[in-house]
Amino acid sequence: MSRPAKGKGTFFSKGGFFMDKRPDPAVVPAHEVPYLSRVPEGDLIAILAEQKERALERLGALSEEQASHRYAPEKWSVRQVIGHLADTERILSYRLLAIARGDRTPLPGFAEDEYVAAAPFESWTAKEALADYAAVREATLSLLRGLAPGDWERSGTANGLPHSALLLACVIAGHERHHLHILTERYGIA
């Protein structure tokens, strides 16, 4: 089976499941449009899998000193950024699961700074933080690979705003790209 024309959405092929559709930015909550804009065209599941490999390769060589680096005293350490990526993905994946399964319960927001402050990330080694990140991403990929085509379009309420399962998957990818860009630009992590 060949891939459909760009923008046609989901389909199955002998090689597996592909998701290349993106939400309309006009109906995306304003604070999530920047994340959505960071997600490249292509198979979203493959993009998320590649992100994991690139992040592990890029961050896997960090020394403990580099993992403790902050670009300003009040900013998170690199290790805390990695932990934040994992925690945020856990939350977004739960929202995605609930919405994809048709749960109409409004889902709460979360205070990212409070989560990081309460987390034990600074007592972890860089390898432990990356192992946690990798485990979370694998769980997200497993969830996404198990969605049926109609599941992606289901919508619900998260943080008081409308979200689809598709949007949440895109936000996961875009959120990571945002923070990896910050790690390059402000922390000097190549």
| Region 92-101 average pLDDT | 98
For residues 121 and 69, what is the distance between their CA atoms, to the nearest angstrom? 13
With a cut of 50, say whether residue 5 has pLDDT above it. Answer: no
User: Using one digit for the tens of pLDDT, what is the confidence trace for 50-71?
Assistant: 999 999 999 999 999 999 999 9
With a cut of 70, say whether residue 4 has pLDDT above it. Answer: no
For residues 168 and 136, what is the distance between their CA atoms, to the nearest angstrom? 15
pLDDT band for position 10 (cuts 50, 70, 90)? very low
| Region 73-89 average pLDDT | 98
With a cut of 80, say whether residue 3 has pLDDT above it. Answer: no
Sequence-ordered list of residues with C-beta below 8 angstroms from that of 131, at least 6 positions apart, any chain: none
Ranges 5-9, 45-49, 90-94: which has the least confidence: 5-9
For residues 77 and 102, what is the distance between their CA atoms, to the nearest angstrom? 37
pLDDT of residue 18: 62
What letter does residue 5 receive in the DSSP assignment?
Answer: P
Domain ranges of the chain: 41-185
With a cut of 70, say whether residue 6 has pLDDT above it. Answer: no
Q: Of 87, 74, 97, whose CA–CA distance to 129 is shortest? A: 87
CATH fold label, 41-185 = Four Helix Bundle (Hemerythrin (Met), subunit A) (1.20.120)
Alpha helices in 38-105 (DSSP H): 44-59, 64-67, 78-100
pLDDT band for position 16 (cuts 50, 70, 90)? very low
Burial status of residue 2 (CB atoms within 10 A of its CB: 0-12, 13-18, 19 or more): exposed
Q: Of 170, 177, 182, 188, whose CA–CA distance to 33 is shortest? A: 170
For residues 143 and 169, what is the distance between their CA atoms, to the nearest angstrom? 10
